[in-house]
Structure 1
Amino acid sequence: FKRRGIPDPAVKMTSIHCYTQCKAERFSLTWTITNFSFAECCVESSFFTNAREQLKWSLFLSTNGVGLQNERCLSFYINLVSGPETGCVFVFVCVFPLFLNSHGLFEAGILQDDTLTLTCEVSYVCITTLGLFQTIIVKVPECRMAEELGDLWDQSLLPDCSLVVGGQEFQAHKAILAARCPVFRAMFLHDMKERRTNCVEIQGVEPEVLKELVTFIYTGKAPNLQDMATELLVAADMYLLERLKRMCEDALCRSLTVENAVEILIFTDLHLTPDLKEEAITFIKRCFILFLSFSFSHFFDIIETPGWESLRTNHPHLIGEVNRALFSVGAPAKRPRLF
């Protein structure tokens, strides 16, 4: 499978077709037991073989069998001692009464001169596999479109436009930008300067943030999101990249701390991130609950941060929301007013 640098594809079995031949043989086994009245518990016969001496059996007689009415009966069994190691399957059919009591033997005339003769016919089927055909398919490799488009961006292969930000220029592809971003699509589809010049000048975004944003446009991934979640969320909001915006919102929800909870709350009010806003208020509320229960609490640490003073001074409507959340908590009747 190795040709022109293509790696070996993995294969897997999807179905198996085989051709099986069944051969049936039949023969008789005769076993004579003298002085039968002295037989106790279990008696085993000598070995029997078939005509080709491929198989070897023995018969067992048990005098301790139990009949349908719980009476003591005789039981006969056939046992395969050995056979060829060919993977054959043998099915045995014995034709004789399996349970007989001693009284029944005399009445039926089976027991003569205290001698029991047992004759059974054995049929066996040898099942062999003569052919095995495996159907295999080549496992389809995983789609690498994201990685391949990422190579176009990382290596600046065949670009047809440029993005200029903070004195830096990045080479890109109009078709990919337009396909993935509504703002770029509007620029390149309408009679705008960007369409005529094939150059987009970007304001309000740092170069490293723009690079992360365009990486997401090409690949659907943002490997450095955690380090720049706030700035990247602002850029995603500007360019109407809703999925990237929600990814940043999720990252900020998981990074809430005593030091940044109020600042993130203020940030959410500016950029319409309702889930992050609710999570920030809930975080502050949890700290307040711990304060009311006289447990170790970071609530005073929160109200001593610079962000808390900014919240009181510049965002009074947010103070109202925080107040409603805090004082909805079941707490003692007399509570100190903290702000």
Structure 2
Amino acid sequence: MTKQVNGEKDRESQGCESLYGEWMQKECLQGDSRDEVAEENRDSRETRHRQRRGDFKRRGIPDPAVKMTSIHCYTQCKAERFSLTWTITNFSFAEGCVESSFFTNAREQLKWSLFLSTNGVGLQNERCLSFYFNLVSGPETGVRCKGRMAILNSEGEEAISRDTGRVESLMEGFAIGLPNFTRWDDIMAEEAGILQDDTLTLTCEIHVLCRPENTQLQQVKVPECRMAEELGDLWDQSLLPDCSLVVGGQEFQAHKAILAARCPVFRAMFLHDMKERRTNRVDIQGVEPEVLKELVTFIYTGKVPNLQDMATELLVAADMYLLERLKRMCEDALCRSLTVENAVEILIFTDLHLTPNLREEAITFIKSHLFDIIETPGWESLQADHPHLIGEVNRALFSVGAPAKRPCLF
């Protein structure tokens, strides 16, 4: 009985193994089939993709699968242009070759001359006028140029004109032009109205090609820097202040960091153990409120909106607070405002402040307008209270280039 049961179990086990083997074989076949189908699909997609790219290329359409970067480059070809008028007198006696005097371009880098042959160049151009541009001296690499030439009639209008055509390379000692510019008979004919008193007038234009300039246009437009305006808003609107400036009974809110960064005097106040650092308050002496506002505006923005109206007062304040650039700006404004009425006053002002440029300009102005200035009330004050300045003006008058007639200054 036991043997029979064991045999049945063995047969069942063998049957299961057989079914499992058949299932595995079937799965392997199906897996291979799926792999083949997947590979065929992949090959089909690649084929369709290649065909689509080829179709895009044939039609000139950008392939959407390829990322394109667009860059714009701008090339500017520049040409220097200059002209010359050449007059030849007693033209009917001119035989052979006639050459003009040398002339140069605006930068004096090239030296040219005009060359005219009254009997043409070559047998085929006999009885013709030949006209050439001759490069007398230039760079070793030569130049690229073209020209235009014209003959004027007695009214000054162009009667005959031609150009050399395309741009050509020209080396030093060589020439370009037209061997058959016009016929001799066309010039000499009275009805042409070209020769007046046997004088021929020609004009020419030369175009010299300069080195091209290449620039790449920015793909992203970078906004302009507005730091000066934004710092000015901190001052104008009193945003987040941490100190105060008191002058003439008025109080202005400011920022210690900006004042210290831009002005040596404020920097010393806020960096050292001084009252201004402990109280965050600065009492300003010797400066009017409006002048202080203008001075602090310069500290924040580098600009002086009312410079011309208060240049003298601002110069004094700039000298006090060691703002050298502001001081020079005030000097420049005063130099441009010199008149017969204020020249002496400005000269006296320069004696109180170290402004050598302004002092020199004031003396030069007085020297140039002396006969008018000595009639002003300021001149008497200068003689009475500042004799050493009279001495400086006197030395300037007797320097090289002084006028021949000099008044007595003492």
TM-score bin, normalised by smaller chain: 0.5 to 0.7
Distance (Å, rounded) in 1 between the aligned partners of 2:84 and 2:398: 95
Deviation at 1:326, TM superposition (A): 1.2
CA distance in 1, matches of 2:155, 2:374: 102
The 3 A distance-change label for structure 1 pair 159 and 265 is same
Give the secondary structure class of the aligned counterpart of 2:118: strand
Identity %: 93
Contact 1:161 1:174 in 2 (8 A): yes
> Residue by residue, what CA displacement relative to the aligned partner does 1:21-78 show, whole Å, maximum 9, x if unpaired?
9999999999999999999999999999999999999999999999999999999999
Query: Deviation string for 1:144-199 (max 9, x for gaps)?
Result: 11000000000000000000001111000000000000000000000111011111
Matched, 1:316 2:387: yes
Given that 2:235 and 2:253 are in contact with CA atoms closer than 8 Å, whether structure 1 keeps it comes out as yes
- 2:407 match: secondary structure: coil
Deviation digits for residues 127-148 of structure 1 (CA, Å, limit 9, x no counterpart): xxxxxxx996212111111000
CA distance in 2, matches of 1:278, 1:53: 35
For 1:300 and 1:151, the matched residues in 2 are separated by: 50
Q: Secondary structure at the match of 2:125?
A: coil
- Structure with greater contact order relative to length (CA < 8 Å, sep ≥ 6): 1
- The alpha carbon displacement at 1:317 in A equals 1.4
For the 8 Å contact 2:71–2:219, the answer to whether it is kept is: no
Contact 1:28-1:122 at 8 Å conserved across structures: yes
109-118 vs 137-146, which moves further: 109-118
Distance 1:187 1:58, change over 3 A: closer
Closer/same/farther in 2, CA of residues 2 and 336 from structure 1, 3 Å limit: farther
Cα pair distance change 1:328/1:188, threshold 3 Å: same
Residues 13 and 136 of structure 1 are in contact (CA less than 8 Å); yes or no, is this contact kept in structure 2? no
Deviation at 1:314, TM superposition (A): 1.9
Where does residue 60 of structure 1 map in the other structure?
115
The offset of 1:309, in angstroms, is 2.0
Question: Would the aligned equivalents of 2:242 and 2:280 in 1 still touch at CA under 8 Å?
Answer: yes
Distance 2:105 2:374 in 1: 96
Q: Count residues with an aligned counterpart.
A: 308
Report the CA distance between 1:16 and its aligned residue. Answer: 3.3
> Residues of 1 paired with 2:243 and 2:310: CA distance?
26
2:396–2:402 CA contact under 8 A, matched in 1: no
1:220 maps to 2:302: yes
Q: Distance between the aligned counterparts of 1:144 and 1:59, measured in 2?
A: 55
Q: Give, in whole Å, the separation in 1 of the partners of 2:304 and 2:204.
A: 79
- The answer to whether the 8 Å contact 1:75/1:100 transfers is no
Alpha carbons of structure 1 residues 199 and 56: separation in structure 2 relative to 1, 3 Å: closer
1:124 matched to 2:179? The reply is no
Cα pair distance change 1:278/1:101, threshold 3 Å: closer
Report the CA distance shift for 1:6/1:325 in structure 2 as closer, same or farther (over 3 A).
farther
User: 1:117 and 1:278, CA in 2 relative to 1: closer, same or farther beyond 3 A?
Assistant: closer
Shift of 1:310: 2.2
Cα offset, 1:215, TM superposition: 0.0
C-alpha change, 1:19 and 1:192, in structure 2 (3 Å) is: closer
Deviation at 1:269, TM superposition (A): 1.3
Contact 1:74–1:100 at 8 Å: present in 2 too?
no
Point out the structure with the larger helix share.
2
CA contact (8 A) 1:161 1:171 kept: yes
Structure 2: gaps (5+ residues):
1-55, 143-150, 157-190, 211-215
Cα 1:50–1:135 change in 2 (3 A) is: closer
Q: TM-score, normalised by structure 2?
A: 0.47
Give the SS at the match of 1:325. Answer: helix
* Contact 1:163/1:171 (<8 A) preserved: yes
Contact kept? 1:15, 1:136, Cα under 8 Å: no
Structure 1 residues 334 and 261: alpha-carbon distance in aligned structure 2, compared to 1, 3 A threshold: closer
Question: Within 1, Cα distance between the matches of 2:388 and 2:380?
Answer: 14
Cα gap change, 1:73 to 1:276, in 2 (>3 Å) = closer
Partner of 1:66, secondary structure, is coil
Contact 2:79–2:208, Cα closer than 8 Å, also in 1: yes
**Preserved CA contact (<8 Å) 1:10 1:138:** no
Instruction: Give the C-alpha shift of residue 242 in structure 1.
Output: 0.1
User: Highest Rg: 1 or 2?
Assistant: 2
After superposition, what is the alpha-carbon deviation per residue over 1:60-101, rounded to whole angstroms, capped at 9, x for unaligned? 9999999999999999999999999999xxxxxxxxxxx999
TM-score, normalised by the number of residues in structure 1: 0.56
Aligned partner of residue 103 in structure 1, secondary structure:
coil
Match of 2:311 in 1: 229
Distance change >3 Å, CA 34–CA 326, structure 1 → 2? closer
The change in CA–CA distance for 1:188 and 1:15 in structure 2 (over 3 A counts) is same
Question: Is the CA contact (8 Å cut-off) linking 1:11 and 1:139 kept in structure 2?
Answer: no
CA distance in 1, matches of 2:266, 2:154: 100
Who is 1:46 aligned against?
101
- Is this contact kept in 1: 2:109–2:138, CA < 8 A? yes
Call closer, same or farther: CA 1:48–1:190 in 2, change over 3 Å: closer
Greater share of strand: 1
Secondary structure at the residue paired with 1:123? strand
List 4+ stretches of structure 1 deviating above 6 A: 1-14, 17-87, 99-104, 107-126, 331-334
- Structure 1 residues 254, 330: closer, same or farther in 2, change over 3 A? closer
Displacement, 1:334? 7.2
**Contact 2:112-2:136 at 8 Å conserved across structures:** yes
Q: 1:68 to 1:163 in 2, by over 3 A?
A: same
Asked whether the 8 Å contact 2:270–2:276 carries over to 1, the reply is yes
Classify the secondary structure of the residue corresponding to 2:358: helix
Q: Is the 8 A contact 1:12 1:139 kept in 2?
A: no
Cα gap change, 1:7 to 1:236, in 2 (>3 Å): farther
> Using a 3 Å threshold, how does the CA distance of structure 1 residues 83 and 157 change in structure 2: closer, same or farther?
closer
